[in-house]
Amino acid sequence: MRKLFFALLLLVSGTTAQAQRNIQLHYDFGRNIYSAEETNRQKVTLTVEEFNADKWGNWFYFVDIDMSSHFIESAYTQMFREFNLAEQSPFALHVEYNGGLNRNSSFQHAALAGLAYNGHSVDFSKIWSVQLMYKQFFKSYEYTHSYASAELALFWTLHFANRKCTFSGITELWRGEKANGHGCLSILAEPQLWYNFTNHFSVGTEWEFSNNFIYNTDPQSTKTFFWNPTLAVKWNF
């Protein structure tokens, strides 16, 4: 569950330090839809996010915590720092880390660096960011190896209905590698739709679309595309 809180890019252009935080709780239907291919997918994910802006740029992180009925199964994080190239410039230098641990091993770690283009409409009802980055994967456990890649990412947020509704999302494309070592195009898109009951409390859904991203646990299946919807609640601090 890649997090969309970065879509609060309206803070990037500010010169006064600001911070925003939220907690999300998602119930994931993926294992109900793909009982054979996603047998290890957890149904409950707790997400913590924080975004801060300062006079140099901004930084952001999220932690996804997947929980079973008995254990915390995994914790995955992404964190980045952006440095504005000039005051009021839409361009920023972007550096990022991806990685985490699960109960039996770890996620493959990666470092990214590149350029971001950030913008918004006059009334901040539309917010977007495009990032083009070099991505370096590292050998993280026995069956992985280090390799170079590249990633293109798009973030967006649209507020409508007098800001009672928010449509936000992320789409990412990068060069991945299959188990046989052959390269492939990996795609992850996660649109979210929220109804904002108050400035703090929202109820919504996230639909995760992916190709060459999720590990298929069914040895008889060659499926690479998956759709994993959730129902979720969110609290903004």
Selected residue with higher pLDDT from 51 and 187: 187
Residue 29: predicted pLDDT: 96
As given in the structure block, the two tokens for residue 87 are 């005051």
50-72 pLDDT, tens digit per residue, is 988 888 998 999 999 999 888 89
Q: Are the C-beta atoms of residues 203 and 195 closer than 8 Å to each other?
A: yes
pLDDT averaged over the chain?
A: 88
- Enumerate residues 6+ apart whose C-beta is below 8 A from 86: none
Q: Are the C-beta atoms of residues 96 and 115 closer than 8 Å to each other?
A: no
Q: Which of 54, 45, 43 is nearest to 16 (CA)?
A: 54
Q: What is the rounded distance in angstroms from the CA atom of residue 97 to the CA atom of residue 135? A: 10
Residue 139: predicted pLDDT: 87
Arithmetic mean of pLDDT, 194-207:
97
Arithmetic mean of pLDDT, 16-39:
87
Residue 41 per-residue DSSP state: -
Partners of residue 135 on adjacent β-strands: 112, 149
| Helices vs strands, H then E, count in the chain | 1, 13
- Enumerate residues 6+ apart whose C-beta is below 8 A from 181: none
Residue 186: predicted pLDDT: 96
123-176 pLDDT, tens digit per residue, is 989 999 999 999 999 987 777 889 999 999 999 999 999 999 999 999 999 999
157: left (phi over 0), alpha (psi -120 to 50) or beta: beta
Q: What is the rounded distance in angstroms from the CA atom of residue 232 to the CA atom of residue 206? A: 8
Using the predicted structure, report yes or no on whether residue 15 has a pLDDT greater than 70.
no
Using the predicted structure, report yes or no on whether residue 34 has a pLDDT greater than 70.
yes
Q: What is the rounded distance in angstroms from the CA atom of residue 212 to the CA atom of residue 37? A: 13
End-to-end CA distance of the chain: 20
Using the predicted structure, report yes or no on whether residue 4 has a pLDDT greater than 50.
no
Arithmetic mean of pLDDT, 74-95:
94
Confidence band of 18 (pLDDT split at 50, 70, 90): low
Confidence band of 10 (pLDDT split at 50, 70, 90): very low
> Nearest 10 degrees: CA dihedral of 131, 178, 207, 70?
-120
How many other β-carbons are positioned within 10 Å of the β-carbon of residue 211?
17
Selected residue with higher pLDDT from 1 and 204: 204
Give Cα 88 distance to the centre of its chain: 26
Residue 148: predicted pLDDT: 95
Selected residue with higher pLDDT from 150 and 107: 150
Q: What is the rounded distance in angstroms from the CA atom of residue 92 to the CA atom of residue 85? A: 5
Confidence band of 12 (pLDDT split at 50, 70, 90): very low
Entry pTM: 0.86
